[in-house]
């Protein structure tokens, strides 16, 4: 999906209004989309009917919030709206929707002074979901008036409540769990320095005609991984399909003390739709791995097979044997090869072998592995994630999945894809192994490797978001991601 600047978005909004869709209607669709995202978030977190506080500014960003507050109030939710300016400053579409909200009886108050906000901060709120509708794409310059107080108030709620930003986190100073953006994602929201503010990023279709979007300029170097782009990768399965239709994936990895990594990776490949999955593990752990994954054919000698994708690395260890095996794969494979973890770091002095491979290669480094591969410092990788991913893809002729919040998928000659699903609960051992398995499972059933990597990072993060909403981020473990994959798939496909 295209990513736009605020200016490009304003142009799209203006073109849409000129084509006959009134601004009032655009705002209604935006606010209804926001209400629907809040309902889903609340439902996933078992917070249905919990108090929701909308904090609105005097622009159209506040207008979206009024529509959503109105909608939830009509559903019977305990909703309240605080306005960070005098009512008299409201105008246009926002004023229209404000009046409707007020008429419907949504409890409301205007907090016009810093003293009001100091009092609000002292008293707090019992709302478990707080909505930031203070500033959107119309923000400019230094914060003026009470907006700074209101932003500080909403941001402070992030320490105890779920925070949802409308369109963009206000002045990129509110730490949101979810940003519900209108029309198309905005460039600032996918920049790596802003991941802590944006949280997950969902897009509301506000009815901008497709042809306007196609014609619009967007960021030519970046694209957003959106479920609507992934759905076509999973067409209806023919009724007479059999396991041979969906490929045979080989997963190589594991070592003494690291049997879980390959177990989870190969299970994730199965859960991603591969027809058959085989694993090759050292003899010493065969008896540990095999019973854990009855759906996988586990071997302790290199098996023969018509592989459609090969994945190597999880739990493999950084031995000379690992390096030899990986180099051999790169030299001989004709099918996509996914390299993760140790299979990446052992190539630090052999990057030429990656460039020389004739098969598609997908590397899935976390910043530490990326730094090790190129002899860099992790801080330097993190300081320019986009540039680093692009550099590596160009240099190695491989697809680079640079992991971490706002995972990037880069391939030479095309825009870098950015993913905004996932949460810090994934920062626990084994999450990456699951991702490698998903990519191999998707590539192995014939999805082109770049698209497989994009779909995999989205599904992986989505599974983690569903799991965290149910079990809490702190309690998330990698097998939860595998278990929630089914639900993640269901959010892009009805079958």
Ligand X SMILES: NC(=O)C1=CN([C@@H]2O[C@H](COP(=O)(O)OP(=O)(O)OC[C@H]3O[C@@H](n4cnc5c(N)ncnc54)[C@H](O)[C@@H]3O)[C@@H](O)[C@H]2O)[C@@H](O)CC1
Ligand Y SMILES: Nc1ncnc2c1ncn2[C@@H]1O[C@H](COP(=O)(O)OP(=O)(O)O)[C@@H](O)[C@H]1O
- By CB under 6 A, name the binding residues for ligand Y: 341, 366, 403-405, 407, 422-424, 426-427, 429-433, 435, 460
E runs forming strands in 46-195: 52-56, 79-83, 108-110, 129-133, 162-166, 178-182
The contact mask relative to ligand X for 28-67 (x = CB under 6 A, - = no) is --x--------------------------xxxxx-xx---
Six token digits for residue 475: 């309690």
* 144 forms part of the interface with ligand X (CB under 6 A): yes
Residue 431 touches which member of ligand Y, ligand X, K ion, none, C-beta under 5-8 Å by kind: ligand Y
Six token digits for residue 289: 């791995």
Residue 47 touches which member of K ion, ligand Y, ligand X, none, C-beta under 5-8 Å by kind: none
Six token digits for residue 243: 């396991």
Cβ-based nearer residue to ligand X, 184 or 388: 184
Residue 132 touches which member of K ion, ligand Y, ligand X, none, C-beta under 5-8 Å by kind: K ion
Cβ-based nearer residue to ligand X, 145 or 292: 145
Nearest Cα to Cα of residue 11 among 252, 99, 19, 250: 19
Residue numbering of the annotated binding site for K(+): 61, 132, 170
Cα 494 from Cα 358, distance rounded (Å): 36
Eight-class DSSP state of 413: T
Nearest Cα to Cα of residue 428 among 340, 343, 366: 366
Size of the site for ligand X (CB under 6 A): 28
* 170 forms part of the interface with K ion (CB under 5 A): yes
Nearest distance in Å: CB 458, ligand X: 24
Six token digits for residue 367: 């910043």
In sequence order, what are the beta bridge partners of 430?
A: none
* 202 forms part of the interface with K ion (CB under 5 A): no
**Under rule CB under 6 A, which residues in 293-352 are in contact with ligand X?**
none
Choose, by CB under 6 A, the member of 1, 21, 95, 143 that binds ligand X: 143
* 179 forms part of the interface with ligand X (CB under 6 A): no
Residue 435 touches which member of ligand Y, K ion, ligand X, none, C-beta under 5-8 Å by kind: ligand Y
Cα 361 from Cα 359, distance rounded (Å): 6
Nearest distance in Å: CB 178, ligand X: 14
Six token digits for residue 216: 């619009």
Nearest distance in Å: CB 137, K ion: 9
Residue 403 touches which member of ligand Y, K ion, ligand X, none, C-beta under 5-8 Å by kind: ligand Y
- Pairing mode of beta strands 52-56, 79-83: parallel
Cα 415 from Cα 403, distance rounded (Å): 17
- Pairing mode of beta strands 361-363, 337-339: parallel
Residue numbering of the annotated binding site for AMP: 403-407, 432
For residues 341 and 316, the answer to whether their CB atoms sit within 8 Å is yes
Cβ-based nearer residue to ligand Y, 172 or 198: 198
Six token digits for residue 88: 């008299």
* 182 forms part of the interface with ligand X (CB under 6 A): yes
List, as one string, the DSSP characters of 82-136.
EESS-GGG--HHHHHHHHHHHHTT--EEE--SHHHHHHHHHH----SEEEEES--
Cα 288 from Cα 292, distance rounded (Å): 7
* 132 forms part of the interface with K ion (CB under 5 A): yes
Tell me the C-alpha to C-alpha distance, in Å, between residue 340 and each of 5, 43, 327, 398, 439: 34, 35, 14, 13, 11
Choose, by CB under 5 A, the member of 55, 151, 162, 166 that binds K ion: 166
Residue 426 touches which member of K ion, ligand X, ligand Y, none, C-beta under 5-8 Å by kind: ligand Y
- Site residues (vs K ion, CB under 5 A): 61, 132, 165-166, 170
Under the rule (CB under 6 A), what is the footprint of ligand X?
Answer: 13, 23, 26-27, 30, 57-61, 63-64, 135-145, 147, 166-167, 182, 206
């Amino acid at each position: 999906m295209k990513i736009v600047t605020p200016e490009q978005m304003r142009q799209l909004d203006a073109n849409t209004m000129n084509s006959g869709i009134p601004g009032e209607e655009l705002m209604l669709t935006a606010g209804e989309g926001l209400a629907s995202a809040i309902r889903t978030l609340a439902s996933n977190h078992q917070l249905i009917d919990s108090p929701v506080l909308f904090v609105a500014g005097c622009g159209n960003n506040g207008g979206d919030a009024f529509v959503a507050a109105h909608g939830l109030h009509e559903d019977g939710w305990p909703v309240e709206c605080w306005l960070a300016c005098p009512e008299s400053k409201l105008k246009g579409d926002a004023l229209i929707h404000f009046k409707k909200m007020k008429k419907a009886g949504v409890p409301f108050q205007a907090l016009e002074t810093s003293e009001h906000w100091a009092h609000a901060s002292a008293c707090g709120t019992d709302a478990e979901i707080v909505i930031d509708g203070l500033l959107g794409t119309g923000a400019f310059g230094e914060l003026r008036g009470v907006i700074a107080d209101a932003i500080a108030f909403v941001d402070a709620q992030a320490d105890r409540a779920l925070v949802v930003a409308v369109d963009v986190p206000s002045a990129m100073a509110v730490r949101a769990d979810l940003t519900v953006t209108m029309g198309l994602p905005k460039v600032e929201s996918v920049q790596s320095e802003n991941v802590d503010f944006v949280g997950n990023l969902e897009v509301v279709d506000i009815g901008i005609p497709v042809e306007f979007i196609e014609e619009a300029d967007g960021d030519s170097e970046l694209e957003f991984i959106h479920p609507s782009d992934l759905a076509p990768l999973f067409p209806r399965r023919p009724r007479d399909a059999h396991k041979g239709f969906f490929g045979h994936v080989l997963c190589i990895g594991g070592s003494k003390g690291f049997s879980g990594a390959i177990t989870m990776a190969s299970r994730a490949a199965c859960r991603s739709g591969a027809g058959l999955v085989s694993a090759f593990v050292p003899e010493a752990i065969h008896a540990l791995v095999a019973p854990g994954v009855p759906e996988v054919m586990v071997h302790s000698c290199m098996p023969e097979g018509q592989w459609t994708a090969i994945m190597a690395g999880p739990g493999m260890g950084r031995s000379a044997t690992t390096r030899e095996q990986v180099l051999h794969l790169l030299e001989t494979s004709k099918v996509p090869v996914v390299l993760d973890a140790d299979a990446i770091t052992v190539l630090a002095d052999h990057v030429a072998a990656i460039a020389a491979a004739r098969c598609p290669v997908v590397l899935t480094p976390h910043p530490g592995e990326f730094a090790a591969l190129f002899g860099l410092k992790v801080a330097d990788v993190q300081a320019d994630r986009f540039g680093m991913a692009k550099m590596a893809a160009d240099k190695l002729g491989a697809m680079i999945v640079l992991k971490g919040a706002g995972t990037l998928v880069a391939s030479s000659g095309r825009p870098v894809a950015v993913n905004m699903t996932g949460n810090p609960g994934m920062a626990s051992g084994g999450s990456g192994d699951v991702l490698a398995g998903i990519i191999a499972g998707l590539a192995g059933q014939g999805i082109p490797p770049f698209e497989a990597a994009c779909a995999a990072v989205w599904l992986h993060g989505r599974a983690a978001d569903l799991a965290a909403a149910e079990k809490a981020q702190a309690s998330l473990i990698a097998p939860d991601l595998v278990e929630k994959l089914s639900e993640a798939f269901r959010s892009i496909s009805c079958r």
